[in-house]
């Protein structure tokens, strides 16, 4: 049997910081997808750790069906005051792990480079999933940058002062709702000036094209799939993929079953091979240099065959099975994220 090289993995999105109960990530947990011991077991040496503030609970009966489309309404908005308090507490959990020497919070690309080896603590990128914690006048953005923020999604799947997130709809195009507001455009410009990556996952299509026209940096969707394979509103159309490729950006292939399967089932009995099929589609469309990983660990149902972050070697085998060679795997697993982060953090 051939012995395969196992590249280090940089994962573009997880929600471990905002899991219910704020668990201790330094010990191996009995549930969830990600903690530091299982990261070591799976070969994950770096990743983007999201800070996400949930909306209030939805009222019963809001899910609707029309013309065969299953569409959930946009999640209710949240206040800047609530989001700032919640996000600050979640970010502090990451900073506490850094102070304890458990990981490195990346503030420059050299931090990512150091963590590529298998010695020393892994690297994390602090990310705001939805910019509600930033005030409309952007005064808090520089404070968050000083804290370590290096990646930001203007929206989650709800509206805020900056843009409108795409609601969860199956099947549906991402062309739902208006684009960036004037404040949203100012936020994107400010992020580009500071060196904070702008993440387009959860942004609707109008907002996507608004950002693309601004040319702030390589276009990045940290945890999305190919719409051609799974026609969910959260996935990327061929035209969007082409724009990402033309910009030098990347797609972090999501592991969430609802964005992998053509039937949109939220079902752990989903073939692991579907993740590899989405990666193969994007690579064939725009080039392997624009393909990366963006699991959505602890934020979605993933294939049971993968299980959790410790199962990443199984995913590497699935990627080999669809034709990726070892050099291409190294790019998908680490170097493509490293290249794009370096451009944004210039």
Summarize pLDDT for 211-234 with one digit per residue, the tens: 999 999 999 999 999 999 999 999
* pLDDT tens-digit series, residues 179-206: 999 999 999 999 999 999 999 999 999 9
Are 170 and 264 in contact, with CB atoms under 8 Å apart?
yes
- Check residue 346 and give its pLDDT: 87
Residue 175 lies in a domain: yes
- Check residue 4 and give its pLDDT: 65
Type and span of the H or E element at 197: strand 197-198
- Check residue 64 and give its pLDDT: 46
Residue 265 lies in a domain: yes
- Check residue 74 and give its pLDDT: 87
- Does a cis peptide bond (omega within 30 degrees of 0) precede residue 234? no
**How far is the C-alpha of 222 from the C-alpha of 220, rounded, in Å?**
6
Residue 3 lies in a domain: no
Question: Mean pLDDT score of the chain, rounded to an integer?
Answer: 94
Determine what percent of the chain is predicted with pLDDT higher than 70.
95
- Provide the domain count of the chain: 1
Q: Which single residue is written with the structure tokens 């705001």? A: 128
- Check residue 60 and give its pLDDT: 42
For the chain, give the longest Cα–Cα distance.
Answer: 59
Residue 20 in this model has a pLDDT that exceeds 50: yes
Q: Per-residue pLDDT averaged across 47-63, rounded?
A: 76
Are 103 and 121 in contact, with CB atoms under 8 Å apart?
yes
Residue 260 in this model has a pLDDT that exceeds 90: yes
Residue 316 in this model has a pLDDT that exceeds 80: yes
Residue 165 lies in a domain: yes
- Check residue 343 and give its pLDDT: 98
- Check residue 68 and give its pLDDT: 56
Question: What DSSP state is assigned to residue 27?
Answer: S
- Check residue 73 and give its pLDDT: 84
Q: Per-residue pLDDT averaged across 108-126, rounded?
A: 94
Question: Phi/psi at 125 (nearest 5 deg)?
Answer: -110, 125
Residue 318 lies in a domain: yes
Q: Which domain holds residue 172?
A: 9-344
* pLDDT tens-digit series, residues 29-38: 999 999 999 9
Spell out a b/e string for 47-82, using b for 16 or more CB atoms within 10 Å of the CB, else e: bbbbbbbeeeeeeeeeeeeeeeeebeebbeebebee
Residue 2 lies in a domain: no
**How far is the C-alpha of 293 from the C-alpha of 114, rounded, in Å?**
20
**How far is the C-alpha of 267 from the C-alpha of 99, rounded, in Å?**
38
Q: 93: closest CA among 40, 47, 25?
A: 25
Q: Per-residue pLDDT averaged across 71-97, rounded?
A: 94
Residue 77 lies in a domain: yes
Residue 4 lies in a domain: no
CATH at residue 68:
3.20.20.140
Residue 101 in this model has a pLDDT that exceeds 50: yes
Give the pLDDT band (50/70/90) at residue 119: confident
Determine what percent of the chain is predicted with pLDDT higher than 90.
90
């Amino acid at each position: 049997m051939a012995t395969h090289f196992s590249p280090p993995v940089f994962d573009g999105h997880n929600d471990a910081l905002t899991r219910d109960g704020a668990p201790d990530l330094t010990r191996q947990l009995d549930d969830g997808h990600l903690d530091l011991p299982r990261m070591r077991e799976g070969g994950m040496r770096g990743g983007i750790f999201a800070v996400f503030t949930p909306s209030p609970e939805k009222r019963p009966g809001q899910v609707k069906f029309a013309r065969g489309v299953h569409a959930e309404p946009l999640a209710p908005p949240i206040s800047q005051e609530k989001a700032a308090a919640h996000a600050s507490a979640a970010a502090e959990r990451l900073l506490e792990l850094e102070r304890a020497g458990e990981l490195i919070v990346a503030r420059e690309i050299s931090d990512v480079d150091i963590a590529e080896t298998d010695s020393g603590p892994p690297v994390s990128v602090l990310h705001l999933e939805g910019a509600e914690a930033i005030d409309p006048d952007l005064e808090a953005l520089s404070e968050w940058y000083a804290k370590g923020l290096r990646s930001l999604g203007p929206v989650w799947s709800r509206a805020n002062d900056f843009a409108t997130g795409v609601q969860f709809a199956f099947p549906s195009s991402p062309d739902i709702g208006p684009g960036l507001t004037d404040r949203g455009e100012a936020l994107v410009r400010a992020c580009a000036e500071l060196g904070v990556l702008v993440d387009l996952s959860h942004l609707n299509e109008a907002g996507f094209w608004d950002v693309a026209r601004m040319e702030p940096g390589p276009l990045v969707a940290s945890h999305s799939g190919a719409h051609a394979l799974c026609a969910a509103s959260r996935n990327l159309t061929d035209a969007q993929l082409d724009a990402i490729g033309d910009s030098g950006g990347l797609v972090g292939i999501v592991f969430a079953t609802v964005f992998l399967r053509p039937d949109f089932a939220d079902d752990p009995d989903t073939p692991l091979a579907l993740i590899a099929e989405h990666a193969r589609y994007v690579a064939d469309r725009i080039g392997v240099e624009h393909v990366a990983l963006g699991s959505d660990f602890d934020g979605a149902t993933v294939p049971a065959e993968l299980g959790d972050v410790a199962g990443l070697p199984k995913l590497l085998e699935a990627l080999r099975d669809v034709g990726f060679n070892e050099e291409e795997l190294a790019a998908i697993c680490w170097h493509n994220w490293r290249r794009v982060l370096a451009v944004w953090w210039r």
